[in-house]
Amino acid sequence: MFKIDNGDIPINDRLIYKETMSTALLLIKREMNNRKLVGSSSIYTVLPCLSMEEVPLATCCDYNSTATISRSRTKLPTVMENLNGLAVEYVADVETRRRFNQTTPLRYSNILDLGGNKNKIFFWFKDGYLYVSSPTIKKVSLSAVFEEPILLEKSPCDCETETISCAPVYTQEIKVPSYLLENVKQMVYQKFMSIYFQIPTDKTDDDRNETSR
């Protein structure tokens, strides 16, 4: 969209990538606030295998119990939140493909106070970790909209040693629906033009210029 010939203009690939991703997330959040894109596979990033470990329920819930639950071994990037909740397509057991029900730590405590529901398995997020109400869940898959790019450093099938880190710029695509792509490009372009390519207005008096010459 524009050529950069001036070395003083600090636009590089990383800055363009960062602005494009933040703009895409902004438009996606607006659409999801209006209950759009919920079923669109183009916005979700899938983590095919996350290793879980058994932890006390008290680790994440203000609930007096000796019960245990499962927690992801690895901290996760921030999941985007909109007016309708977290942008999570699903959390499922890798082995059985059973999908779990989304909740919060407080809601899960209330469920337990009411006697619980033995036929349902719940999941929630707290302090960067994913929790699942069943302690027997060892591996899960997760599909969600994340607020930063991520990269699985190990094979998706290698759950035990899998870690998540920041992804290099060119290794991750930006998740955005095709109908929003042009809007994203134009918004990023206009922002860069307004910040880096403004032409200063010459406010010097013409007569003064002639005298100085």
Q: 68-72 and 129-132 as β-strands: parallel, antiparallel, unpaired?
A: antiparallel
Ramachandran angles phi, psi of 208, nearest 5°: -65, -35
User: CB-based burial of residue 69 (10 Å sphere; 0-12 exposed, 13-18 middle, 19+ buried)?
Assistant: buried
Position 204 scores a pLDDT of 57
Euclidean distance between CA atoms 111 and 108, whole angstroms: 5
CB 15 within 8 Å of CB 113: no
User: Tokens at residue 29, please?
Assistant: 């959040």
Position 115 scores a pLDDT of 80
pLDDT tens-digit readout, 97-153: 999 999 998 898 888 888 877 789 999 999 999 999 999 999 999 999 998 877 655
**Where in the chain are the domains?**
1-44+175-197, 45-166
Residues in the chain: 213
Q: Which of 90, 100, 88 is nearest to 134 (CA)?
A: 100
Q: List for the chain the helix, strand, coil content (%; round to 5).
A: 30, 25, 45
Question: How does the average pLDDT of the chain come out, rounded?
Answer: 80
CB 130 within 8 Å of CB 70: no
pLDDT tens-digit readout, 46-58: 898 899 999 998 8
Q: How far is CA 124 from CA 27, 91, 146, 195, in A?
A: 25, 10, 15, 40
24, 25, 28, 29 alpha-carbon torsion, rounded to 10°: -150
Q: Mean per-residue pLDDT for 58-67?
A: 79
pLDDT tens-digit readout, 16-34: 888 888 898 999 999 988 8
In sequence order, what are the beta bridge partners of 126? 129
* Tally of CB atoms within 10 A around 124: 24
The angle at the Cα of 32, spanning 29 to 36, to the nearest 5 degrees, equals: 140
CA 55 centroid distance within chain: 25
Q: Which of 76, 86, 92, 53 is nearest to 130 (CA)?
A: 76
Q: 68-72 and 45-56 as β-strands: parallel, antiparallel, unpaired?
A: antiparallel
